[in-house]
Amino acid sequence: MSIWEFANPRNFMRISGRMLPWFAALAVLTLATGLIWGFFFTPDDYKQGATVKILFIHVPAAMMAINAWIMMLVTSLIWVIRRHHVSALAARAAAPAGLTFTLIALVTGALWGQPMWNTWWEWDPRLTSFLILCLFYLGYIALWSAIEDPEAAADLTGILCIVGSVFAVLSRYAVKFWNQGLHQDSTILKVGEEDPLDVAYYVPLVISIVGFVFFFIVIVLLRTRMLIRARRLIALEARERVG
């Protein structure tokens, strides 16, 4: 079966409806395992104490905040190039989820940073980038809800997402240039190097990242199904009016 079969709303609803419970179960299982393991069965850090355990939420949320935008970029490109409506709605569905992940990453980061750096907020390049990402999400969501005609809204938000992606990457480098920052580098892919992430943290962290991915998939599927039903309602109302 071609992947474009999903683009048919009917097929999408059928297949996503069948897959949803499995993804939900996987999300609950991995999230629960990762978080419980991470919170209760890992040692305290010798420098950071128990505070370090917030990383089991902070790191996956931050990763998903970026991944959600990448997914929106891909689905926007699919809409602009191949005109599959479900793809446009999926991009719309992912935006609030991405915004929420961004906010979670910012808030948990503040909670983590307070005892570590002795400040709630620092104009560190990573923190600043996430704040800017948050603005990108807000603009995207606002544009979707401002335009009434769905075709125009999908086209214009698609253009915004594509152009915005370029500027988001530029902003990331600009902000890095602007301030070298306090935030520690990501250590997750540096196993074996000096000062790596402890193996005791590594496994539960990976499990909760997987859990966040499944959670994101569930949210996007649910919201896309909701948006498809809403479009169908509008289509049926239009039929009522003219029929």
Partner 1 sequence: MELRVGNLAVSRGGLVVLEGVGFTLHPGRALVLRGANGIGKTTLLRTIAGLQPAVCGEISAAPECLAYASHADGLKAALSARANLSFWASVFGTGRDAAGAALERMELTGLQDRLAAQLSAGQKRRLGLARLLVTGRPVWLLDEPTVSLDQAAVALFAGVVRAHLAAGGSALIATHIDLGLDEAETLDLGAFRPRQLRPVAGGFGEAFDDATGALP
Partner 2 sequence: MIALLLRDLTLAFRAGGGFGLGLAFFLLVAVLVPLGVGPESGILAIIAPGILWVGALLASLLSLDRIFALDHEDGSLDLLATAPLPLEGVVAIKALAHWLVTGLALTLVAPLLAVLLNLPAAGYPWLLLSLAVGTPALSVIGAFGATLTIGLRRGGLLLSLLVLPLYVPTLVFGAEVARRGAAGMALATPLALLAAITAGSLALLPFAAAAAIRVNLR
Give which of partner 1, partner 2, none residue 14 binds (C-beta under 5 to 8 Å, depending on kind): partner 1
Token representation of residue 8: 């048919």
Q: Which of 70, 146, 159, 238 binds partner 1 (CB under 8 A)?
A: 238
142 in contact with partner 1 (CB under 8 A): no
Written as one string, the DSSP assignment of 125-168 is: HHHHHHHHHHHHHHHHHHHHHH--SHHHHHHHHHHHHHHHHHHH
Closest CA to 128 of 181, 57, 165: 181
Phi first, then psi: give them for residue 103, nearest 5 degrees. -65, -40
Judged by CB under 8 A, the stretch of 13-21, 34-42, 66-74, 212-220 that binds partner 1 is 13-21
**What is the C-alpha separation between 45 and 68, in angstroms, rounded?**
30
Which amino acid makes up residue 157?
T
234 in contact with partner 1 (CB under 8 A): yes
Residues 156-215 that bind partner 1 (CB under 8 A): none
Give which of partner 2, partner 1, none residue 163 binds (C-beta under 5 to 8 Å, depending on kind): partner 2
Q: Which of 85, 92, 126, 223 binds partner 1 (CB under 8 A)?
A: 85
221 in contact with partner 1 (CB under 8 A): no
CB count in 10 Å sphere of residue 192: 5
**What is the C-alpha separation between 88 and 173, in angstroms, rounded?**
29
Name which of 45 and 155 has its Cβ closer to partner 2.
155
80 in contact with partner 1 (CB under 8 A): no
Give which of partner 1, partner 2, none residue 231 binds (C-beta under 5 to 8 Å, depending on kind): partner 1
- Residues of the shown chain interacting with partner 2 in the complex, contacts defined by CB under 8 A: 132, 135-136, 138-139, 142-143, 146-147, 152, 155-156, 159-160, 162-164, 167-168, 170-171, 173-175, 177-178
Q: 137-175: string of b/e by CB count within 10 Å (b at 16+)? A: beebbebbeeeeebeebbbebbebbeebbeebeebbeeb
User: Which chain residues interact with partner 1 by CB under 8 A?
Assistant: 9-10, 13-14, 17, 83, 85-86, 149-151, 154, 228-229, 231-232, 234-236, 238-239, 242-243
